[in-house]
A and B are shown apart, each in its own frame.
Chain A
Amino acid sequence: MNSLDSYLFISSMLFCLGLFGVITRRNAIAVLMGVELILNAANINFVAFSKFNGMNLDGHIFALLVIVLAAAEAAVALAIIINIYNNMNTVNIDDVSELKR
């Protein structure tokens, strides 16, 4: 379990799962969760590259930054979703197509 490959394998799995979630889910919250998965996949990559490619802390710092960003993003996104829900009584993103018209 010490090789880089296994980390990358895990993160790519996680990324694919996230992507799959984002693409297939119609529930906005589920999509948001998919996005979180993708972000976490990226975090794993950062940390893994940081560990196996020299001993500097850049990867860790980026991972922390992403976690913070993800938190902020989740907060904003959830706020938007709540607003959409309040206005349209749904969180299904297919029904929310006001901008298309």
Chain B
Amino acid sequence: MIENPMILFPLLILFLPLISFIIVIFFGKKLPRQGDWVAVGSIVTTFLLACYLFLQMLLNYDPGFSHGASFSWINLGEFKIDLGILVDNLTIVMLLIVTLVSSCTHIFSIAYMKGDIRYNRYFAYLGLFTFSMNGIVLADNLISMYMFWELVGVSSYLLIGHWFEKDSAANASKKAFLTNRVGDIGFFIGIMLLYSAVGAFAFSPIFESIAGGQAIAGTTLTIAGLGIFMGAVGKSSQFPLHIWLPDAMEGPTPVSALMHAATMVAAGVYMCVRLFPIFTPSALIVIAYIGAITAILAALIAVSQNDIKKVLAYSTVSQLGFMILAVGTGVYTAAFFHLLTHAMFKANLFYCSGSVIHSMHHALHKAHDHDTDPQDMRNMGGFKDKMPITYFSMLVSTLAIAGVPLFSGFLSKDAILAGTLSFAQHHPGHFLLPLFGFLAAALTAFYMFRLIFMTFHGEPNIKSIIKDIHESPKEMTGPIILLGSLSFFIFYTLPKNFNPMKDKGWFTDLIVPRNSAVPGSLTANEIADYAHHAHYLAMGLSLVVASIGILLAYLIYQRKVISAKNISERFGFFYGWSLNKFYFDENYNRYLYQPFLRLAHTISWLDWEFYDKYFINGFGKLTKLLSTISGRFDYSGIDQGFVDGFGRASNTVGKLLRNVQTGRLQNYLLFVVAGILVIIIAQAF
């Protein structure tokens, strides 16, 4: 079984990064170049293996391809857990995304992280991350998915906290892990609910059981599905757990590109796609609303941010909201499609921003300016000619994310919006979903072009450093060019026979939606049919909203026809909310963390100062009191009173009798005589 390349290669893809992690973390310091070549080599190898799998998939062209292998991990007789891998088209595409972005990140980091004090550890953690991410992708059961899910969280924790000397980084890493854990609790509860009903952890038996409708259905299934979805809320940074992702930008930028844009945060979407058959219609409604709210909320925040990475971070949250929205409305292959295209262009956007920050950093360093924030867009401007590769690549990716035709984002976003629209057409009560969707799309176009204009166009805002701004080294521009070119539509619509008129493209053909396992749900065909009807309307609308967004950005930030300042002052209230991220952090802090900490302190006080001190020690004191009383009774009562009293009494009597013993012979004799007389007299009577 293991000789089969369809099993062996995925296993290699899974374990090579782990081996690299072990080698680099233990021996990295001693290896030449701190062992970065081990990490890069192993990741590039996994990428090549993934390419092989991908080509096999394209060549075989089997939409139903599925392969698996498992081994018994825990076997207690009745209670069994088998861990295994599942390889199908979805897995292969996802593996390709992960290994591709991971390879690019590794190469990019060689230059970006040069001279970092923990260079080897950085590469080791990247390996750990790639391992765990591949684990999620390959999992064929809930338990191993959960395990890798958490491991991904740890590698994220370690990488966000890479510069742990900074308090903000340390806080962000902790926040990321804990927020994710909140989601994971729901995930685990969902797993337990499913297991207690179905008795299996592997996906296929669960789907079969649900399809049977006997073991679990109705509200229980909805709760189980929402529980599992909570994991995705945490990992994919959905409302209300979206707060960790923007903070996670404290990590090195390549890490943001790899984990917090392209792959790790997409794990939640991947899971929803993978487990789509278990979601009941009511669960899907909740999912759709969460996604829509996240999309619009994050987009609203992104328009006012000035930190280049923060804009991208909120953009990521918003795009993830799109994907979740798509899952909720049933067009989950569109979600996965968006995941794919988004991974490419968003990773590239982060690389480009990394390239800009890198350059800013060096320029500021040269100018001995340590106060200016190298990530603030207000300090940039006019970099277009200084960094042409970065500029064009970023522009292409921006066009893609904005949803301009001929770029990848147009295809995927269009599919999502069409799905949302058709959903609303059939459920008119949920008209907010497409409304939020289109609004978020317009805002996306706006804030992304705002970013481009502020960073690359116009006059430089700090004149002193512009001469030192220059293009980044080849290790960085290489991935930028590669991923930038992947923003063109052609890579995603490449048809089987290279005839674009006849086919819809490999993706649509190979990633075929499955029917929901929940009895009574719409079938995949029905959903696709509905979406198809809404397709042209959605396309037109999305073109309109994208153009409005771009136009506005152009007018405000390039031509400065409309003053941004005026708008922000006129809508001061909304501007304030947006700039302050809707006060989520503040409110969570005030209404969740602080009360929680206070509760902890109260409980601890109760435990130690009250319960132990007064109750337990009081128990001791009571015993002591009782023993004092009984001791006193024993001493003064029994010992002193009774026992000693006996002695004292004899003593007193003795002392009294002693007076008789005068020591005078005559007295004694007198007594004798008296005694005899008494006897005689007594005798006489």
Given A19-B673, A23-B673, the answer on whether A100 and B666 have CB atoms closer than 8 Å is no
Closest to A96 in B: B663
Closest 8 CB pairs of A and B: A100-B663, A97-B663, A23-B666, A23-B669, A23-B670, A94-B664, A22-B669, A93-B665
Q: List 6 A-B residue pairs with CB atoms under 8 Å apart, sorted by A's residue number.
A: A19-B673, A22-B666, A23-B669, A99-B663, A100-B661, A100-B663
Q: Which residue of B lies closest to A101 (CB)?
A: B663
How many angstroms from the CA of A94 to the CA of B663 in the assembled complex? Answer: 8
Q: Which residues of B contact A100 (CB under 8 A)?
A: 661-663
Nearest chain-A residue to B658 (Cβ)?
A100
Residues of chain A within 8 A (CB-CB) of B662 are: 100
Q: Determine how close the nearest CB of chain A comes to the CB of B669; give it in whole angstroms.
A: 5
- Give Cα A24 to B661, complex, Å: 17
Which positions in A face B, CB cutoff 8 Å?
19, 22-26, 31, 93-94, 97, 99-100
The docked-state distance in angstroms from the alpha carbon of A100 to that of B670 is 18
B673 to A, closest residue via Cβ: A19
Q: Mark B662-682, 1 if CB is under 8 A from A, else 0.
A: 111110011001000000000
A contact residues around B663 at 8 Å (CB): 97, 99-100
The minimal Cβ–Cβ distance linking A100 to chain B, given in whole angstroms, is: 4
Q: Contacts of A22 on B, CB cut-off 8 Å?
A: 665-666, 669
B631-685 residues with Cβ-Cβ distance < 8 A to A are: 661-666, 669-670, 673
A36 CB, min distance to chain B CBs, angstroms: 15
Q: Which among B661, B662, B664 has the greatest number of chain A C-beta atoms within 10 A?
A: B664
- Extra contacts besides A100-B662, A100-B663 (9): CB < 8 Å: A19-B673, A22-B665, A23-B670, A24-B666, A25-B666, A31-B665, A93-B665, A97-B663, A97-B664
Identity of the chain B residue whose Cβ is nearest the Cβ of A99 in the assembled complex: B663
Find the B residue at minimum CB distance from A22. B669
A31 to B661, CA, bound (A): 19
Contact A93 B673 (CB under 8 A): no
Q: Look across to chain A and name the residue whose beta carbon is closest to the beta carbon of B670.
A: A23
Min C-beta distance of A59 to chain B, whole Å: 23
Note all chain A residues with C-beta closer than 8 A to B673.
Answer: 19, 23
Q: Which of B426-482 contact A (CB under 8 A)?
A: none
Q: B665's closest neighbor in chain A, by CB?
A: A93
Nearest chain-A residue to B662 (Cβ)? A100
Chain B residue with minimal CB distance to A16?
B673
Name the distance in Å between A1's Cβ and chain B's nearest Cβ: 28
Question: A residues within 8 A CB of B669?
Answer: 19, 22-23
Give the distance in Å from the alpha carbon of A19 to the alpha carbon of B664 in the complex: 15
The residue on A at minimum CB distance from B667 is A23
Report the minimum CB–CB distance from B32 to chain A (whole Å). 108
B650 smallest CB distance to A (angstroms): 20
Query: Smallest Cβ distance from B656 to chain A, in angstroms?
Result: 16
Q: How many Å lie between the Cα of A41 and that of B664 in the bound state?
A: 24
Give the residues in chain A near B664, CB-CB below 8 Å.
Answer: 93-94, 97
- Assembled-state Cα–Cα distance A25/B673 (Å): 16
By beta carbon, the residue of chain A nearest B669 is A23
- Chain B residues within 8 Å of A31, by CB: 665-666
Q: A26–B661 Cα gap in the complex (Å)?
A: 17
Contacts of A19 in B (CB 8 A): 669, 673
Cα–Cα distance between A93 and B669 once the two chains are bound (Å): 13
CB A68 to nearest CB in B, in angstroms, measures 24
Q: Select from chain A the residue with minimum beta-carbon distance to B661.
A: A100
The CA of A15 and the CA of B662, in the complex, are separated in Å by: 25
CA gap between A96 and B150 in the complex, in Å: 107
Closest to B663 in A: A100
With both beta carbons as reference points, the residue of chain A lying nearest to B668 in the complex is identified as A23
Residues of A contacting B666 with CB < 8 Å?
A: 22-26, 31, 93
List, in ascending order, chain B residues with CB within 8 A of A24's CB: 666
A14 to nearest B CB, angstroms?
Answer: 16
A79 vs B667: C-alpha distance when bound (angstroms): 24
A23 to B673, CA, bound (A): 10
Nearest Cβ in chain A — how far from B670, in angstroms? 6
User: Bound state CA distance, A79 and B295, in angstroms?
Assistant: 135
Q: Which residues of B contact A99 (CB under 8 A)?
A: 663
Q: CA–CA, A19 to B662, complex, Å?
A: 19
A94 to B666, CA, bound (A): 9
Chain A residues within an 8 Å CB radius of B661 = 100
Q: Which of A23, A31, A93, A100 has the most CB of B within 10 A?
A: A23
Min distance, Cβ B676 to any Cβ of chain A, angstroms: 10
The minimal Cβ–Cβ distance linking B678 to chain A, given in whole angstroms, is 16
A97 to chain B: closest residue by CB: B663
**Alpha-carbon distance between A99 and B661 when the two chains are bound, in angstroms:** 11
- C-alpha spacing A7/B669, complex, angstroms: 25
**How many Å lie between the Cα of A22 and that of B669 in the bound state?**
8
- With A and B bound together, what is the CA distance between A92 and B638 in angstroms? 49
Question: How far is it, in angstroms, between the C-alpha of A74 and the C-alpha of B670 when the chains are bound?
Answer: 22
Q: Which B residues are in CB contact (< 8 Å) with A23? A: 666, 669-670, 673
In the complex, A19→B666 CA distance in Å? 10
Bound: A97/B663 CA distance, A: 6
Report the minimum CB–CB distance from A79 to chain B (whole Å): 18
